[in-house]
């Protein structure tokens, strides 16, 4: 699914209310064996070029739902029935009611230790790129500086008439659907099902994955394309891959032949609250 979640604001920048914390991920719950944790730490410590791919799982601890499974309905609608250009043309108010509800839910969420750990890692490494499939903006609020938002930003609006693009952090919005100053109707600034990813941003993400010594894959099974292909790009360039998820993805895993522990170039870790970065 392209459209997951996002929220603006940079806590480490003017106007922020979130102080920078020294983040240190600590293992919680079931893990792969200790050798996998040690291996991941060693790879991260030695690498000067790191790329990160995050998905909805990294924001789960912040209380943001993924809209998957039995609890993934909103007013009897599935996300894939609302997050499409066709749905918006058919009933823009209904689609905006869903996004306005989501924006209000995200507005009360806060970045969790995993978000702050990535900020700390960015400060330590001279070459660092964070690629996210989320639209919730929690990476921004944690203080991440270099973020490629493949699926857009729920806190931006785009005019269907003049193509203007602007931030709007109000939640709830005073009028649905919202409109541009030119009078045109606005849509959420996200990538919907059936729409291509921003071409320039995708090229940057591919370059970062291909140049990385280590690729961290956090909170995503990395099986949804095109984002999943970043793992293939990184491996082709001989990068180490560290997968961090709340549980083993089994046959859906990005390393289907090794469900637990560490291999020569791949590590899987389960139920982490953050990363062992120092």
- What is the SS3 assignment for 251? helix
Which of 139, 151, 207, 225 is an active site residue? 151
Write phi, then psi, for 181 (nearest 5 degrees).
-60, -25
Residues 72, 4: Cα–Cα separation, whole Å: 12
Is position 115 annotated as part of the catalytic site? Answer: no
| Residue position matching structure tokens 């905006």 | 96
Selection from 192, 186, 197 nearest residue 226 by Cα: 197
Backbone Cα Rg of the chain: 19
Torsion angles phi and psi, residue 204, rounded to 5: -60, -40
Taking Cα atoms as reference points, which of 59, 82, 38, 47 lies closest to residue 136?
59
Task: Using the structure block, give the residue that is written with the tokens 């590590």.
Answer: 267
The two tokens of residue 52 are 């990160």
| Alpha-helical segments (H) within the chain | 34-46, 79-82, 85-90, 92-107, 113-124, 138-142, 199-211, 229-236
* Distance in angstroms (rounded) separating the CA atoms of residues 205 and 209: 6
Q: How far apart are the first and last CA of the chain?
A: 33
What is the largest distance, in Å, between two alpha-carbon atoms of the chain? 60
Kindly list the catalytic residues: 151
């Amino acid at each position: 699914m392209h459209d997951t979640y996002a929220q603006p604001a940079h806590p480490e920048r003017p106007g922020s209310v979130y102080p920078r914390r020294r983040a240190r991920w600590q293992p919680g719950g079931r893990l792969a064996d200790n050798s996998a944790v040690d291996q991941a730490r060693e790879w991260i410590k030695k690498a000067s070029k790191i790329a990160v791919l995050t998905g909805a799982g990294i924001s789960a601890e912040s209380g943001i739902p993924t809209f998957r499974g039995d609890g993934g309905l909103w007013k009897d609608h599935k996300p894939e029935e609302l997050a499409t250009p066709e749905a918006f043309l058919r009933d823009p108010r209904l689609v905006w009611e869903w996004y306005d509800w989501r924006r209000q839910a995200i507005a009360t969420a806060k970045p969790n230790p995993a978000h702050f750990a990535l900020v700390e890692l960015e400060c330590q490494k001279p070459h660092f790129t964070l690629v996210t499939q989320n639209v919730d903006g929690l990476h921004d609020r944690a203080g991440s500086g270099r973020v490629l938002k493949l699926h857009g930003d729920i806190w931006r609006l785009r005019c269907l008439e003049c193509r203007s693009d602007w931030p709007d952090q109000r939640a709830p919005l005073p009028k649905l659907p919202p409109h541009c100053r030119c009078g045109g109707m606005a849509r959420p600034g996200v990538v919907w099902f059936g729409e291509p990813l921003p071409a320039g941003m995708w090229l940057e993400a591919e370059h970062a994955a291909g140049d990385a010594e280590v690729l961290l894959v956090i909170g995503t099974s990395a099986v949804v394309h095109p984002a999943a292909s970043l793992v293939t790009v990184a491996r082709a360039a001989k990068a180490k891959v560290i997968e961090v998820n709340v549980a083993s993805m089994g046959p859906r895993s990005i390393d289907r032949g090794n469900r637990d522990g560490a291999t020569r170039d791949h590590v899987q870790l389960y139920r982490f609250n953050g990363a062992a970065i120092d």
